[in-house]
Structure 1
Amino acid sequence: MDLADRPVVSPTAWEQARQDLLVREKEATRAADALAAARRRMPMVRLEKDYVVAGADGPVRLVDVFEGRSQLVAYKFMWHDPEQPCEGCSLFVDQLGHPAHLNARDVTRVVISSGPLAETLPYRERMGWTVPWYSSAGSDLDADLGLGDGFALNVFLRDGDDVYRTYMVDGRGTEKLGSVWSFLDLTPFGRQESWEDAPDGTPQTEPYTWWRRHDEY
C-alpha cells in the first residue's frame, strides 16, 4: 500500500483535522434529519388491490405480512438466476440486525423476493437468514408498484385492512441501510422520539427510554 499521499502529522494537527471534518459531518447529520422529517410528511398512495404473496406456510395477504403492526419495511430481493442469486441483494440481507428493536417501534421488516419460493427458500436456508421471507411471483404486486426486475425497498402503512405505500428507495439509496435507525428514518412514524420533527399525532416517547436488550421487549 502506497501511503505517499497520506500525510503524517502530529496528534495536535490530527485533532484539528478531525474537528474540521466534524463540522461537515454534523452538517450532513442535520441534513439527513431534515430529509427524514420531509419523508415523514410525504403523501401516501392507497393500494387498491388485496395483494396475496406466497409464504412458507402458504398464501398470505399483504395486510397480514405486517404481523399485526402498523408499518412494514419490505425489501425486494431480485431473482434472475437460481444458480447465481444476486450478490448485492445477498449482501444487503446479510446486514439485517435483530428485528426486536424495529418491532418495538411498530415496524415489521421482511423480504419479498420476485423469485418463486421453491427456489428462494432453499437459498435463504443456505445463507442462514431468519428474516420473514415471501415471494411475489404470480402476483401483480411488483408490476403495480413499478418495481420492474430490479431491487428496491418499500415502506407501507396499515390502517385496518387498508394498506398505503409511503416510501420507496432503490439503487445507491439502499447502501446506508442496515441499522435500526436507518430503517426507522424511512418509516412514516420515524424513530418516534420527542426530538424529531414529525407530523402532529405521530406517536413519540422520550429518547432512550424505549431501548431494551432484544430479549427484554
Structure 2
Amino acid sequence: MTTHATATREDWLAARLDLLQAEKEHTRRGDELARQRQALPWVWVDKPYRFDTEAGEATLADLFQGRSQLLVYHFMFGPDYGAGCPSCSSIADGFDGFAVHLANHDVTLAAVSRAPLAKLLAYKRRMGWSFPWASSHGGDFNHDFNVSFSEQEQRGGTIEYNYRRGSHAMDAVPAPAPVVEFAAACGTDAPTYARDRPGLSAFVREDDAVYHTYSAYARGLDGLWGMYQWLDRAPLGRNETGIWWRRHDEYGGR
C-alpha cells in the first residue's frame, strides 16, 4: 500500500483546482519577471572579442549569424578539460530542438567555451549536437562575463559569480564531493574544473552596435534545464539525494 495521501476523484479535483490558482499566480509572476528582464538597460559592448568557429575566426557580432538577438550559453569546458561538464551537457541536450525555432524568431542560440575549438568540435560530434559552438580560447570573453576565473582569484576568494563577490561553494577546501566527481568526469582536478562556471548571456544588435542585455547564473539557469521542468511535474518530483544524471551516452541500457 502507498504511504502517500489518496482521495476520491472529487477530492482530488478540489485540491487540483486550489493548486491551479497557485500555478496561475506563478505564471503571471513569471510574465512580470520577463517584462522586467526586457526593461533592463543595455550596455554597449565595445571590446573586440574574437572567437574560433567552424566557419573561421569570428567577432561577437558574427555570432548573431545575421539576426538581431543572440543568446549565449556559457558551457563549462575549460582548456584543460578532457570533456564537457555533465550538467552543461544535459542542459545542451535540448538546444538543437529549440535553436531552429529561435532562429526563425530572429534569435540565435550559441554556446561559448574556453576550450580550443578542436576539443569542442570533437565533443560536439560525440554528443551528436548541431548547435553553433564557439571557442573563446585565449580571450577575455568568459572572464568579462563572470564565468571563468584565474587561479589567483580562486585562491584569494575574489571570484565574482552570480552577482556575489567572494568564495563560493565550488571553491571550498576540500572540494565538495559533487565538484570532485564532475571534475573527474571532465578529466581534471576540482580546482581546475571550478575555474569555469555555467551561465547565460543575452545580446542585441542594432546597426553596427552590440549591447549586453542580461546574464544569469547558477539557479538562474533552472528554466533552461529541460529535464527538471519535466521532473517537477512527475509524481516524485526531483527526488534526488546527489548527482544522478550522466552524459546521455553514459547511461546503461534502459
Calculate the TM-score normalised by the size of structure 2.
0.66
- Matched with 2:29 is 31
CA distance in 2: counterparts of 1:79 and 1:99, whole angstroms: 20
Question: Is contact 1:76–1:114 with CA below 8 Å preserved after alignment?
Answer: no
CA distance in 2: counterparts of 1:99 and 1:123, whole angstroms: 19
- Matched with 2:41 is 43
CA distance in 2: counterparts of 1:18 and 1:93, whole angstroms: 33
Unpaired segments of 5 or more residues in structure 1?
183-217
Among 3, 12, 15, the residue aligned to 2:13: 15
CA distance in 1: counterparts of 2:66 and 2:207, whole angstroms: 9
SS at match of 2:31: helix
Query: How does 1:21-100 map onto structure 2 within 5 Å?
Result: 21-80=19-78, 82-96=81-95, 97-100=97-100
Query: How does 1:180-199 map onto structure 2 within 5 Å?
Result: none
SS at match of 2:18: helix
CA distance in 2: counterparts of 1:172 and 1:137, whole angstroms: 26
What amino acid does structure 2 have at the position aligned with 1:66? F
What amino acid does structure 1 have at the position aligned with 2:86? E
- Matched with 1:193 is none
SS at match of 1:72: strand
CA distance in 1: counterparts of 2:205 and 2:20, whole angstroms: 39
CA distance in 1: counterparts of 2:98 and 2:199, whole angstroms: 21
- Matched with 1:168 is 215
Question: Is contact 1:70–1:157 with CA below 8 Å preserved after alignment?
Answer: yes
Between the aligned residues of both structures, percent identity stands at 40
- Matched with 1:157 is 204
Please report how far the alpha carbon of residue 22 of structure 1 lies from its aligned counterpart in structure 2 after TM superposition.
0.5
Calculate the TM-score normalised by the size of structure 1.
0.77
Question: Is contact 1:109–1:132 with CA below 8 Å preserved after alignment?
Answer: yes
Aligned residues: 178
Question: Is contact 2:112–2:136 with CA below 8 Å preserved after alignment?
Answer: yes
CA distance in 2: counterparts of 1:90 and 1:147, whole angstroms: 16
* C-alpha spacing 1:28/1:154, structure 2 compared with 1 (3 Å): same
Please report how far the alpha carbon of residue 178 of structure 1 lies from its aligned counterpart in structure 2 after TM superposition.
5.9
- Matched with 2:107 is 107
Unpaired segments of 5 or more residues in structure 2?
149-195, 230-254
SS at match of 1:176: helix
CA distance in 1: counterparts of 2:2 and 2:94, whole angstroms: 31
CA distance in 2: counterparts of 1:105 and 1:98, whole angstroms: 11
* C-alpha spacing 1:67/1:84, structure 2 compared with 1 (3 Å): closer
Question: Is contact 2:71–2:200 with CA below 8 Å preserved after alignment?
Answer: yes
- Matched with 2:126 is 126
Please report how far the alpha carbon of residue 19 of structure 1 lies from its aligned counterpart in structure 2 after TM superposition.
0.4
Please report how far the alpha carbon of residue 140 of structure 1 lies from its aligned counterpart in structure 2 after TM superposition.
1.5
Higher helix share: 2
* C-alpha spacing 1:175/1:41, structure 2 compared with 1 (3 Å): same
> 1:12-60, CA deviations, whole angstroms, 9 ceiling, x for partnerless residues?
0011111010110000000000000111100111111121111013211
